[in-house]
Amino acid sequence: MSNGKYVITQTNIDDAARLKDIFERRKKEAKSKGIKFTQETFGAKYDWSQGAVGQYLNGVIPLNLSAALKFAEGLNVSLDEISPSLAGNYG
């Protein structure tokens, strides 16, 4: 599948779904503690726009190793939890 700019594979779609699930869980955890956790606040930590974060979460932009490592760090999870395929190529 292609969105005009990127070729999106099933692996990319699966990675984005895992990433979005983890992100949403962290967002709920933060909210229950009274902490603001949004795409905008997350993106600011890595000099990304809210739009870029949203595009990764929705699979519009396929994850690359650099972005996946930043998400893993920021969400406090292993790379493998987000993208087993990238983790396999990394380690």
pLDDT in tens, 20-79: 999 999 999 999 999 999 999 999 999 999 999 999 999 999 999 999 999 999 999 999
Q: How confident is the model at residue 6 (pLDDT cuts 50, 70, 90)?
A: confident
Residue 32 CA to residue 51 CA, distance in Å, equals 25
Q: Which of 56, 51, 73 is nearest to 19 (CA)?
A: 56
Mean per-residue pLDDT of the chain: 94
pTM of the model: 0.92
Amino acid in position 11? T
